[in-house]
Structure 1
Amino acid sequence: MSESLVQYQEDLRRFSDELIRLQTPIKILDAIKWPREMEDRFLASKGSRLPKIGPDFYQRLALPFDSRKTQAELISLKQDIRRRLGKQDKLGKILQANVDQYRLVIDMLNHRGQPEFGQLSRQLYGSASDKLHGDRHSLRQLGDRLSHIFSLPAARHMIKHHPKIITAPEAVSVLSQRLLGYFHSDEMRVRLSDGIVSDAAVGGDTVKLNSKAMFSESDLNIYEVHEGWVHVGTTLNGRAQPHATWLSVGSPRVAATQEGLAVLLEMLTLSSNPGRARRISDRVAAVDMAEQGADFIQVFHYFRDQNLSATDSYRVTQRVFRGGMVAGGSFFTKDISYVRGYVENINFIRSAITSGLPELIPMLFLGKLAIDDIPVLYRACREGILTEPKYLPPMFDNFSGLYAWFGFASGLAGIDLKGVQRHFQRLFKDLPNVEPMYEPSDDTEFDNTSD
């Protein structure tokens, strides 16, 4: 190994570790979370009064770092990367892009409860009006289509198959056993938490379950692959890098790839269910309405009118207004990441196959990355600067099955689906109408799984 390569790798590790140090206290969701009692108060008013969340609330929720000092250190780090690695170094450019993201995050958090928060959120996560890569449809249009499919009567009836009968301590025990077997060479934890609003969340190598929640078997299947295989897996894969340790932490630019990959794993393992899928799809509509100026009450009642329970209507709405302004005009757009990332991951896999480069597919698990980074990271792996992913789900470790699956999907992509639907609708039209096997009550909740 040449002396210059050794020096390059040492510099890469030093800059990576410094970025990790600077971003560690920057926890976006902690900085904008609402107390659980806010939900009780809002639902007690039957959705008639705005939650009492404004700039003063966020002022009292102090950030655990010095904004000015951290900004100055991030600027200095970017200058050091450019000076030491060179302006054209491709790994250096990815590092700098992450530095720039954290600088925007700090600006966004400093404007919690103000119009600028929503503007900066759009810069970081995008907008529901954005078009999908290579397509004329917006994320809102796709989200509406998916929400319709997952709210059909047949989908609503399936909720009876997922009763929430597992206690939080039991869920911790089951999930721990599953994930400790998967992560055979690293320590990771599943633990109870009183400090999270959602039913599950991930922090580094730890999966946290809400101590007050009840869970279904479907919930645990989702957490195993979504929180475990993807979120914890990419963290540990990034930590295993000898030089590019920044791949163990994720700035907003990686959110779509991460969340989309997690949703894709739910689908590939058949772990998801219609309620969960609708919940993810509805988030796009909630973001779009907030972007169009709707207030908290308007978005809440929109979902109530779509036959979503009061609890779930509150929760999908709350996710979009946390950090923003409940009276409208500011919002948190991260929730478009799930649908956007799902589509982008599928298109990436299909394109890798049709381009004759299926070996790129496992790179999705290399660490916390954006899909557009993969060609650069793959070359770095081939050059010995990076190492291959340590933990891979079975279908990504031996991706011949994925090749067949997505190869068929690519080959069938040109079929006129509307024509196919018309054919089968003619076949179905004479079927007798029957009473539904199960009719949910007005306040039946769809599965409320992780963030």
Structure 2
Amino acid sequence: MSQVEQAYKEKLKAFSDELIRLQSPLQILDAIKWPREQETKFLASGGTRMPDINADFYQSQALNFNPDTTREDLKALKKAIRKQLGAKDPLGRILVKNLEQSQLVVDLLLSRGTQEFGCISQQLYGSARHKLHGDRHTLRQLGDRLSYLFSLPAARRINKQHPKVISAPEAVDELSRRLSKYFHNDDILVRLSDGIVSDAAVGGDTIKLNSQAMFSEADLNVYEVHEGWVHLGTTLNGRAQPWATWLGSGSPRVAATQEGLAVLLEMLTLSSTPGRARRISDRVAAVDMAESGADFIEVYRHFREQNLSERDSYRVTQRVFRGGMVTGGSCFTKDISYVRGYVENINFIRAAITAGMPELLPMLFVGKLAIEDIPVLYQAHKQGIVEAPEYLPYMFEDYSGLYAWFGFATGLAGIDLKGVQRHFQRLFRDLPTVDPIAEFVEDTEFDDWE
């Protein structure tokens, strides 16, 4: 290694470490979380009492960083990166993109409970009205289509096959056992928590399970691959990077890739359920309604009318309104990342296969990244700057099966399957109990969803 190459790597590491230091206090979810008692009060009112959350509530929740100092430090770091690495350096440009996201996060957290919060959230995560890359349909349209599929009678019957009979302590023990096998060189902590509203949450090398919740076997299957293999795995792979250390720390621009990849792993391992898939799809509708001005109660009632339980209706609504305004028009748009990222990951994999570059696929797990970063990171990997991921799901380690699966899917993508589907639907018509799939096939414009 030449002295010039060594000096470049050391500069890259120094800038990466400084970015991580400045990003660490910018904890978005901690800064916008609601007290658990809000759910109790709201449901006790029969869904008629607006949550007691406004700008004053957020202002009473102190931020754990100095906005002015952080802004100045980020500005100085950006200037130093461009000066010392060069404005056109590929890895330096990724660093700057992440840095610029941190600048926006500072503004986001200062605007909690205001109209501006929703505008900045859209800059960071996008909007439910945005269209998929290369497609004319919006994320809301795709979300509605998926929500319909996952709410058919057959889906509701399947959901009953997954009772929540596992206590939180038992779930901690079982998940710890599973993940200790996967993360063979690292100690992973799974622990109980009284401080989270959701049933599960991940942070760094720790998975927290709600001590008050009950879990199903399917829940544990999802947590193992979603929180474990993807979120924890990419964190640990990123932290193991010798030079590109920023890959161990996320920013909003990586949310779609991270969440979409996690959902994809749920599907590839057959871990998900229709109920889980519907909750993910419903989040897009919740974001769109809140963006369009619907208030908290209106969004909650929408999901109750869609036969979602009181608890699930509250939680999908609360996720979207945290940080924004319960009166509508300003919300947290991160929850579109799951559906958007799922589509983007699938199409990235298909594109890599058809382009004859399946070796790009393991790079999805090299750390916290956005899909568009992968070509640059792959080049850096070939140059010895970025290490290959240590923890890699089996289908991405030996991707021959993945290649075959997506090869078939790509081959079928251009074929009109409506006639084939109608043939099999006719076989089902004489059965005593049939879910209304035939009606769905006839009413849905499949030609519009190639």
Partners of 1:297 and 1:65 lie apart in 2 by 33
1:143 to 2:139 alignment: no
1:355 to 2:328 alignment: no
Relative contact order higher in (CA < 8 Å, ≥ 6 apart): 1
Partners of 2:188 and 2:432 lie apart in 1 by 53
Distance 1:89 1:435, change over 3 A: closer
* Structure 1 residue 229, shift from structure 2 partner: 0.4
Find the counterpart in structure 2 of residue 309 from structure 1. 309
- Please say if residues 154 and 435 of structure 2, whose CA atoms lie closer than 8 Å, have aligned partners that are also in contact: no
Post-superposition Cα deviations, 1:13-48, rounded to whole Å, max 9, x if no partner, equal 000100111111111000000011100111111111
Find the counterpart in structure 2 of residue 405 from structure 1. 405
How many residue pairs get aligned? The number is 436
Report the residue type matching 1:116 in the other structure: E
Find the counterpart in structure 2 of residue 187 from structure 1. 187
Partners of 2:409 and 2:243 lie apart in 1 by 37
Partners of 2:360 and 2:11 lie apart in 1 by 26
* Structure 1 residue 432, shift from structure 2 partner: 2.3
Report the residue type matching 2:378 in the other structure: Y
Partners of 1:424 and 1:433 lie apart in 2 by 15
Q: Sequence identity, in percent?
A: 73
SS state at 1:161 partner: coil
Partners of 2:286 and 2:208 lie apart in 1 by 26
Distance 1:310 1:16, change over 3 A: same
Relative to the length of structure 2, the TM-score reads: 0.95
Find the counterpart in structure 2 of residue 448 from structure 1. none
Distance 1:69 1:30, change over 3 A: same
Q: Mark the runs of 5 or more structure 2 residues left unpaired by the alignment.
A: 437-450
Relative to the length of structure 1, the TM-score reads: 0.95
Find the counterpart in structure 2 of residue 114 from structure 1. 114
SS state at 1:209 partner: strand
SS state at 1:281 partner: helix
State the Cα RMSD in Å: 1.2
Partners of 2:296 and 2:96 lie apart in 1 by 36
Report the residue type matching 2:317 in the other structure: T
* Structure 1 residue 135, shift from structure 2 partner: 1.2
Partners of 1:82 and 1:128 lie apart in 2 by 34
Q: How is 1:163-182 mapped onto 2 (pairs within 5 angstroms)?
A: 163-182=163-182
Partners of 2:435 and 2:87 lie apart in 1 by 67
* Structure 1 residue 418, shift from structure 2 partner: 3.0
SS state at 1:117 partner: helix
Find the counterpart in structure 2 of residue 260 from structure 1. 260
Partners of 1:71 and 1:179 lie apart in 2 by 38
Post-superposition Cα deviations, 1:327-372, rounded to whole Å, max 9, x if no partner, equal 1111000000000000100000011000000000010000000000
Find the counterpart in structure 2 of residue 368 from structure 1. 368
Q: How is 1:31-46 mapped onto 2 (pairs within 5 angstroms)?
A: 31-46=31-46
Q: How is 1:426-441 mapped onto 2 (pairs within 5 angstroms)?
A: 426-433=426-433
Post-superposition Cα deviations, 1:43-74, rounded to whole Å, max 9, x if no partner, equal 11111121110001101111111111111101
Find the counterpart in structure 1 of residue 53 from structure 2. 53
Report the residue type matching 2:279 in the other structure: R
Post-superposition Cα deviations, 1:250-280, rounded to whole Å, max 9, x if no partner, equal 1000000000000000011111001000000
Find the counterpart in structure 1 of residue 319 from structure 2. 319
Find the counterpart in structure 2 of residue 415 from structure 1. 415
Report the residue type matching 2:182 in the other structure: Y
Find the counterpart in structure 1 of residue 221 from structure 2. 221
Q: Mark the runs of 5 or more structure 1 residues left unpaired by the alignment.
A: 437-451
- Please say if residues 225 and 262 of structure 2, whose CA atoms lie closer than 8 Å, have aligned partners that are also in contact: yes
**Structure 1 runs, 4 residues or longer, greater than 6 Å off:** none
- Please say if residues 237 and 248 of structure 2, whose CA atoms lie closer than 8 Å, have aligned partners that are also in contact: yes
Q: How is 1:241-390 mapped onto 2 (pairs within 5 angstroms)?
A: 241-390=241-390
* Structure 1 residue 434, shift from structure 2 partner: 7.1
Partners of 1:326 and 1:419 lie apart in 2 by 47
Find the counterpart in structure 1 of residue 126 from structure 2. 126
Report the residue type matching 2:80 in the other structure: D
